[in-house]
Structure 1
Amino acid sequence: MNDTILCIGAVLWDVIGRSPRHMRLGNDVPGRITRIPGGVAMNIAMTLRRFGLQAELLTAIGRDAEGDELVAACTRMGMGTGHVYRSEDLPTDVYMAVEGANGLIAAIADAHSLEEAGDKILRPLTDGSLGSADAPYPGLIALDGNLTEELLGQIAQSPAFAAADLRIAPASPGKAERLLPLLRAPRATLYVNLEEAGLICAETFEDSAAAARAMQKRGAARVLVTDGSRPATAAGPDGLVTATPPEVLVTRVTGAGDTFMAAHIAAELGGATGAAALDRALQAAAAHISGGAAG
């Protein structure tokens, strides 16, 4: 199981309305509406599977029809669901977004069930199923900022996570500050965009390199900062590298950051480091944005 990447966080239904037109607030335009499995943890797991890696989900999913359908979809895609917390009284979570040719117009993430489930989703890491405080899980864990700040704080202090290679995503700018308890975790890598880095540092940055340096000064051991179509930066003990994403036609934006993170993890597990790993992650995110496959 240590070869398996644990993906902890939101697994839900993505309801996405997309239009090929530029949109403004209040527009009513033709387009397509899709319903697909999503959520930060799910998006990361899907990309890891496309790279041939094993992913185990730790999340909360309701015991409703939507939840049964979602678990079945995860299983078909080859993800481990044996440790998912299935709630009798909490509904399956949903994310809803509207996208136009000019990017994301608006979104609402209803992850209340994940938040209310709290540390129940982490039981396999403390009860001996996957690990415990005395024998912590030694593998890679992808952690989603959709968890509550209280729970993220518990994770930062928990001996059950002391041996893990933690890879952390904020989920959205609105939840970026939840990651503050994990900012100084010595075995953590944070994946943020420029806006999220600014919120975490309470500053405004001109570019990803400045944001990465500022996060390091605040204690981050490793950090990757993206900035849309502008250069992205990876910073860690071995220094700082910057690369520019490929130019592509934007057809979707939801899940791009999750794809970037998963592709970077896959690149590093495949032996790539520094600029090479960053470039592969940017290539995968560009493929996702343009409507192609990440792997």
Structure 2
Amino acid sequence: MTKPDILCIGSVLWDVIGRAPAVMRLGSDVPGRITRLPGGVALNIAMTLRRFGLSVGLLSAVGKDAEGAELVAACARMGLITDHLYLSEDLPTDRYMAIEGANGLISAIADAHSLEAAGEKILRPLADGSLGSPEAPFAGAMALDGNLTEALLAGIAASPLFARADLRVAPASPGKAERLLPLLRHSRATLYVNLEEAGLLAKESFADAPTAAAGLLARGAARVLVTDGGRESAEGRAGAGVIAARPREVLVTRVTGAGDTFMAAHVVADLAGLPREAALARALEVAADYVSGEIGS
């Protein structure tokens, strides 16, 4: 069995996305396109990592239903390692639904209840010797997403199974940002958040990404990356300060998955040893390509 370069832990589900070329508001009823694609924060990150040549393992919960079988098969076709997924007899495969207009994301609902219900069962391969054990924990990068419950994330923060991991953490959505609080001061964690999520974590409103990055460092974070759409993004490290860069202007054709793509591209650049300025610039470039539709979903 192939040992992955990186593990992606969290939501693996179906994205149902409705996109319209019109500016939309509450109550809009317009023509557009509806697509169903493999998605979820962990899977979006995994797909981008795989495109850059990394071997990627998935830890998540998928139902033993027709949608689940189809999803696992789609992941395998993309070259992702699905051997360690928790396949549930009684939980359905999770789903995410979003509406996007010319003015960006209008609304979204994430149904990740099966992942939440499965809880620590998805982590069994890290303890049973498949990927690691308490005596010999997995040593490498792990991407975690905020669709995991706060209790599970708190357990991860203290668990010996993660003692040697390079943790890369994303909240999944502003509504789940506060779930990351147990990992805010973790010495091996890098947090990837947008400006709103940074404010929720810090319980303070920030004017821009560099200020938000500095604010999270002041609250004990070891390393953070803060994005703000088309405005400046920032990377901050404890003891090394904050750097910032602005993404290039592009025509926005999609937004769902952009933050996950940014995170994955930064992880790849970082693991390749690029200097922090180059890694941030590379991540912004890949995210801009994604938002403009220049790279595939």
TM surpasses 0.5 = yes
- Residue 79 of structure 2 corresponds to 78
SS of the equivalent of 1:24 reads coil
Report the residue type matching 1:77 in the other structure: M
Q: Does the 8 Å CA contact 1:50/1:294 hold for their aligned counterparts?
A: no
Q: Does the 8 Å CA contact 2:10/2:146 hold for their aligned counterparts?
A: yes
CA distance in 1, matches of 2:3, 2:57: 11
> Structure 2 vs 1, CA of residues 210 and 2 (structure 1 numbering), >3 Å: closer, same or farther?
farther
> Structure 2 vs 1, CA of residues 259 and 36 (structure 1 numbering), >3 Å: closer, same or farther?
same
Any residues of structure 2 matched to 1:43-58 within 5 Å, and which?
43-58=44-59
Report the residue type matching 2:242 in the other structure: L
SS of the equivalent of 1:230 reads coil
Unaligned runs of 5+ in 2: none
CA distance in 1, matches of 2:197, 2:118: 25
Alpha-carbon distance, 1:235 to partner:
0.5
Alpha-carbon distance, 1:2 to partner:
5.8
CA distance in 1, matches of 2:212, 2:282: 21
SS of the equivalent of 1:30 reads coil
Q: Does the 8 Å CA contact 1:60/1:84 hold for their aligned counterparts?
A: yes
Alpha-carbon distance, 1:105 to partner:
0.2
Output one character per residue of 1:67-121: Cα deviation in whole Å (capped at 9) or x when no partner.
0000000000000000000000000000000000000000000000000000000
In angstroms, what is the RMSD of aligned CA positions?
Answer: 1.1
Q: Does 1:252 align with 2:254?
A: yes
- Residue 116 of structure 1 corresponds to 117
**TM-score, length of structure 1 as denominator length:** 0.98
Any residues of structure 2 matched to 1:1-295 within 5 Å, and which?
4-237=5-238, 238-293=240-295
Report the residue type matching 2:293 in the other structure: G
Report the residue type matching 1:271 in the other structure: G
Q: Does the 8 Å CA contact 2:168/2:189 hold for their aligned counterparts?
A: yes
SS of the equivalent of 1:191 reads strand
CA distance in 1, matches of 2:256, 2:233: 18
Alpha-carbon distance, 1:7 to partner:
0.2
Alpha-carbon distance, 1:133 to partner:
1.4
Q: Does the 8 Å CA contact 2:254/2:291 hold for their aligned counterparts?
A: yes
List structure 1 segments (4+ residues) > 3 angstroms apart after TM superposition: none
Q: Does the 8 Å CA contact 1:2/1:138 hold for their aligned counterparts?
A: no
Q: Does the 8 Å CA contact 1:118/1:151 hold for their aligned counterparts?
A: yes
**TM-score, length of structure 2 as denominator length:** 0.98
Output one character per residue of 1:180-234: Cα deviation in whole Å (capped at 9) or x when no partner.
0001110000000000000000000001011001101111100000001000000
SS of the equivalent of 2:17 reads strand
Q: Give aligned-pair identity as a percent.
A: 69
SS of the equivalent of 1:200 reads helix
Alpha-carbon distance, 1:270 to partner:
1.8
Report the residue type matching 2:287 in the other structure: A
Alpha-carbon distance, 1:271 to partner:
2.0
Report the residue type matching 1:248 in the other structure: V
Alpha-carbon distance, 1:268 to partner:
1.1
SS of the equivalent of 2:232 reads strand
Alpha-carbon distance, 1:294 to partner:
7.1
SS of the equivalent of 1:251 reads coil
